[in-house]
């Protein structure tokens, strides 16, 4: 069971428009109070139990909450056709309407995302590390939902969640800042200490702004009238410091029980930190660039590294 401060933090996050999601470990029971779940590599029966535990929230919210994300085989991360086939298989094997199929947002993953949506399969696009990749994900989302609409599918039943592993992103940038020599720095005399733990929040603010702009377009208005829900923004691999730093309406945070308890003990929410914060994000990213941190390189290398890590741990069981 959660302690009272953690329960209170869950309620405050929800009041700020942040859906708290639980990162579910194999064999771990779902804890009431969370709005969704990210399943790493789990037995399908565990995924079914998580879906059932969130079934009431899913029904009562009209599908806005109560989703459970489960991955496809990451060894297929550069094969769009195989990812779609795997998504259809997992979707059928789990057999729950609140299931999300998690697909890495590689180049092939973008094509798989579009195709899955066109078939009416709800998708979670993962491993997004840059605003540029997020733009491409939103393009695939709009194209897939347009195709679903043309097929006569009920868009209200199709959900899309997009996620950034914020803890992974910060850890990678921090390690580069700590390197003893950085020949790419525009100003070697500038200290990197103040730039620590700034990358993930800056990228998150960029993505939030991109989503706002894209949802102001004509095609989104058409899809919304047809019942589509806006794509969710989910922060994964969350550390305690991120809980109060990544607060914005229609976002979500996937946390472990330990992270939530630590955040409740040490962090205080200070309201929305994402809306209209894109200029501040640009300054933070410019500062990193001045220290020799090329975020385009970070994003590209992290995508490959995280996909490799997921492959090495892949053991999804029937």
DSSP string, 214-281: HTTSHHHHHHHHTTPPPPEEEEES--HHHHHHS--TTEEEEE-HHHHHHHHHH----S-SSTT-HHHH
CA distance linking residue 43 with residue 298, whole number of Å: 32
Percentage of the chain surpassing pLDDT 70?
A: 94
Q: How far is CA 268 from the centre of its chain?
A: 23
Q: What is the DSSP string of 107-168?
A: HHHHHHHHHHHHTT--EEEE---SHHHHHHHHHHHHHHHHHHHHTT--GGG--EEEEEEHHH
pTM over 0.95: no
pLDDT at 181: 57
Any residues with CB less than 8 A from the CB of 120 and at least 6 apart, and which?
Answer: 148, 153, 154, 157, 158
- Separation of CA 272 from chain center: 18
Mean pLDDT lowest among 199-203, 214-218, 235-239, 262-266: 214-218
CA gyration radius, the chain:
19
* pLDDT over threshold 50, residue 126: yes
pLDDT over threshold 80, residue 25: no
Q: What local confidence, expressed as pLDDT, does residue 189 receive?
A: 45
Q: Looking at residue 107, what is its pLDDT? A: 96
Question: What pLDDT digit, counting tens, does each position of 158-194 carry?
Answer: 999 999 999 999 999 999 999 875 544 555 444 688 8
Q: Which domains does the chain have, with CATH numbers?
A: 4-312 (3.20.20.70)
Side-chain half-sphere exposure of 97, counting CA atoms within 13 A: 13
Closest CA to 219 of 147, 160, 163: 147
């Amino acid at each position: 069971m959660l302690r009272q401060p953690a329960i209170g933090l869950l309620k405050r996050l929800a009041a700020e428009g942040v859906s708290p999601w639980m990162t579910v470990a194999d064999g771990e029971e779902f804890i009431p109070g969370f709005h969704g779940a990210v399943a790493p590599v789990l037995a399908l029966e565990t995924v079914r139990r998580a879906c059932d535990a969130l079934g009431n929230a899913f029904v009562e919210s009209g599908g806005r909450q109560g989703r459970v994300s489960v991955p496809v085989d990451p060894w297929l991360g550069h094969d769009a056709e195989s990812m779609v086939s795997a998504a259809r298989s997992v979707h059928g094997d789990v057999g729950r309407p609140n299931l999300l199929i998690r697909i890495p947002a590689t180049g092939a993953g973008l094509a798989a995302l579009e195709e899955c949506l066109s078939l009416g399969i709800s998708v979670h696009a993962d491993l997004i590390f840059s605003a540029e990749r997020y733009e491409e994900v939103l393009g695939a989302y709009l194209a897939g939902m347009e195709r679903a609409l043309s097929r006569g599918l009920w868009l209200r039943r199709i959900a899309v969640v997009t996620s950034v592993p914020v803890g992974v992103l910060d850890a990678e940038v921090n390690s580069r800042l700590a390197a003893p020599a950085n020949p790419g720095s525009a100003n070697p005399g500038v200290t990197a200490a103040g730039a620590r733990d700034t990358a993930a929040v800056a990228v998150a603010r960029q993505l939030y702004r991109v989503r706002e702009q894209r949802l102001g377009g004509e095609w989104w208005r058409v899809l919304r009238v047809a019942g589509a829900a806006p794509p969710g923004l989910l922060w994964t691999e969350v550390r305690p410091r991120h809980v109060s730093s990544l607060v914005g309406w229609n976002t979500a945070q996937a946390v472990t029980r330990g992270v939530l308890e630590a955040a409740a003990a040490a962090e205080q929410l200070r309201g929305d930190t994402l809306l209209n914060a894109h200029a501040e994000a640009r300054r933070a990213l410019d500062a990193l660039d001045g220290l020799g941190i090329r975020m385009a390189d970070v994003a590209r290398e992290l995508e490959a590294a995280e996909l490799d890590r997921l492959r090495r741990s892949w053991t999804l069981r029937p």
